[in-house]
Amino acid sequence: QVEEGAFVKENFDELCWTLTAKKNYKPDRNGNSVVSHQDAFKLWCLFNFLSEDKYPLVMVPDEVEYLLKKICTAMNVELNSCELDDYLSQEPQGQGGLTVWQFLDMVNSGRFLRGIEQEAISMAVEEVYQEVIEDVLKQARSPHGYLWKKGQLRRNWSERWFMLKPSVLSYYMSEERKEKKGSIALDKHCCVEVLPDRDGKRCMFCVKTSSRTYEMSASDTRQRQEWTLAIQTAIRLQAEGKKSLHKDLKQKRREQREQREQRKAAKEEETQRLKQLQEEKERKLQELELLKEAQRQAEILLQEEEQRRRQQHEEMQRTLEIQLREAEQARASMQAEMVLKEAEAERQRKRILELEDMQERLQEALQQEVKARQDEESVRYAQARLLAEEEEKLKQLMKLKEEQEEYIIKTQREKQVLKQEMENKNKCLEEAQKQLEEVRVNRQRVDQDVMAAQRKLRQASTNVKHWNVQMNRLMHPIGPGEKRTNVSGGGFAGYQPLLSHRDSSLKLKQRVEDKGSDPTRDNSKENVSNGGNSGMPPSPDADTMATEPTN
């Protein structure tokens, strides 16, 4: 009924320790115990964490050795494993495991921690307790173990005492942990990177979170490596969804022990089986002696049986040879059939490709037919329109023919006037041609100016691209882990459409001038033709020939 997180486990452990230690814990009455009462409580907590998950709680010898090795490692002392094995073998229940009170008596006996001061033992027990029970993956151990941290706002360096847990990296003013300055929440998206030395700091590294990058400096390369490896371990635990490193290690050690026990049980079972086989072999040897006599008596029967079996074997061999030949023939026929099937499949694939090609050609022909019909409709529409215009022109021609008969007399009088007008128009045409030549010369000069402007524009674009790269480098310094972005070339991309628009404007102006000069030429030609034909009598054929060019 108890839910995790609804109570303080440390207080609960202290309550259980108070209720049980008074009756079961028996330290030295003279005060010569190796560990203090508080250290005994922490060892009791460590025992509960590492013990097996069954009642009554016992710690197997492997876990006892593991805990003692961690305590000795924290004191830079090597554990004598042989002496520990001797002690466990002397205990009546040592092979199956130790209870917590037997474990405390063993530690207080001083057999494994002799010659070590109680203060050093207390510090080692405290370090192992924080690592295993409080899930402290790493913390500063000495004054030289402090880390320098760079501030976010003031950007100054401050010396802080750091403590790492699987989900958070906390830092304090000192190792007493009285004044907490802040913490760094760790998750699977965080990462740690080594930085080059700068700002007068060496052995730098940083912790990148989703919201901020924390820069830190260690005292030496070894400290930096230890901290980076510990932080990477915490991030890996967060990514795997694990809350405690030592719970995972404990489970792995338990699985390894179970595997060793299974292998040991399998080995014992194999030994027992070999022993039984040996006994069975001896028994069979005895039976073999008894059977030798019966074998001699059965030799004649065996020879007869062997002859009969040989005949059966020969007959079976002949039958198998016949079946083998039949199988070879069947395999050959199947191979021929497979070749035919493959050839048929190849023909089918070629046929499919031909059909697909034919379908594409049919679609192209259909599109061409649709386009031809559309062109035909447009031609028919244009033809109808031309017929209507032709009828209208015929009416106008008849009218003009009547007017020509009326004005034929006036033509003779106006001939001189038309000649004078023709001369004037020729003069105007010559002036227009001169102006056209001037416009063409001006256009060539403008084209040369445009080409010069384009060269200057390309030079300016190259200069702007160069200065853009320089400005990007100055405004955006490259940080650790960032990729260098490529500055896209182009510069002022709007100049090319402007030049194209200017060229199109010049071409349009030239076409307008050409069109403006063409009517003058057409009028002059018309006047010449009218003047040349004024002296001849009108005829229907001449009127028709004069009308067709207009159409």
Phi, psi of 3 (to 5 degrees): -105, 140
Q: How many degrees, rounded to 5, is the angle at CA 98 between CA 82 and CA 255?
A: 80
Q: Helix or strand or coil: residue 7?
A: coil
Lowest mean pLDDT: which of 119-128, 141-150, 245-254? 141-150
Is 0.75 surpassed by the pTM of this model? no
Task: Give strand ranges (E) for 104-200.
Answer: 138-139, 147-150, 157-164, 168-172, 180-185, 191-195
Q: Shortest CA distance to 121 belongs to which of 49, 39, 176?
A: 39
Q: Given a cut of 50, is residue 4 above it in pLDDT?
A: yes
Q: Given a cut of 90, is residue 352 above it in pLDDT?
A: yes
How far is 94 from 81, CA to CA, in rounded Å?
14
In the prediction, which pLDDT does 30 show? 62
Looking at per-residue confidence, does 516 or 137 come out higher?
137
What type of residue sits at position 303?
Answer: Q
In the prediction, which pLDDT does 511 show? 63
In the prediction, which pLDDT does 506 show? 56
How far is 342 from 463, CA to CA, in rounded Å?
66
What are 230-256's pLDDT values in tens digits? 899 889 888 888 777 777 777 788 888
Percentage of the chain exceeding pLDDT 70: 82
How far is 232 from 215, CA to CA, in rounded Å?
15
What's the full length of the chain, in residues?
A: 551
CB 215 within 8 A of CB 206: yes
Looking at per-residue confidence, does 380 or 532 come out higher?
380
User: Long-range contacts for 268-276 (Cβ within 8 Å, ≥24 apart)?
Assistant: none
What are 416-459's pLDDT values in tens digits? 888 888 888 888 988 888 889 888 898 888 889 899 888 898 88
| Residue 362 pLDDT level (bands cut at 50, 70, 90) | very high
What are 12-42's pLDDT values in tens digits? 888 888 888 888 887 766 656 777 888 888 8
Q: Shortest CA distance to 443 belongs to which of 496, 493, 514, 494?
A: 514
What type of residue sits at position 42?
Answer: K
Lowest mean pLDDT: which of 64-68, 142-146, 275-279? 142-146
For residues 212-221, one letter each, b for 16 or more C-beta atoms within 10 angstroms of the residue's C-beta and e for the rest, the string is ebbbbbbbee
What are 392-402's pLDDT values in tens digits? 998 988 888 88
Lowest mean pLDDT: which of 106-110, 333-337, 392-396? 106-110
How far is 133 from 504, CA to CA, in rounded Å?
83
Say which residues have a Cβ less than 8 Å from residue 103's Cβ, sequence separation at least 6. 43, 47, 59, 64
Q: What is the mean pLDDT of the chain?
A: 79
Residues of the chain with CATH 2.30.29.30: 136-243
How far is 106 from 113, CA to CA, in rounded Å?
10
What are 494-533's pLDDT values in tens digits? 434 444 545 555 565 556 555 555 544 444 444 434 444 4
Q: Shortest CA distance to 168 belongs to which of 106, 224, 237, 102?
A: 237
Place of tokens 């390309």: 458
Three-state secondary structure of 124-144: HHHHHHHHHCCCCCEECCCHH
Q: Which residues pair with 147 in a beta bridge?
A: 160
| Residue 479 pLDDT level (bands cut at 50, 70, 90) | low
Looking at per-residue confidence, does 87 or 282 come out higher?
282
What are 160-170's pLDDT values in tens digits? 888 888 888 89
CB 218 within 8 A of CB 205: yes
Q: Which residues pair with 195 in a beta bridge?
A: 204
In the prediction, which pLDDT does 540 show? 40
CB 145 within 8 A of CB 219: yes
In the prediction, which pLDDT does 494 show? 43
How far is 50 from 57, CA to CA, in rounded Å?
10
Domain 136-243 - what CATH class?
Answer: mainly beta
Say which residues have a Cβ less than 8 Å from residue 499's Cβ, sequence separation at least 6. 450, 453, 454, 457
What are 298-318's pLDDT values in tens digits? 888 888 888 888 999 999 999
CB 22 within 8 A of CB 37: no
If you average pLDDT over residues 40-53, what whole number do you get?
83
Q: Count of alpha carbons within 13 Å of 401, Cβ hemisphere only?
A: 16
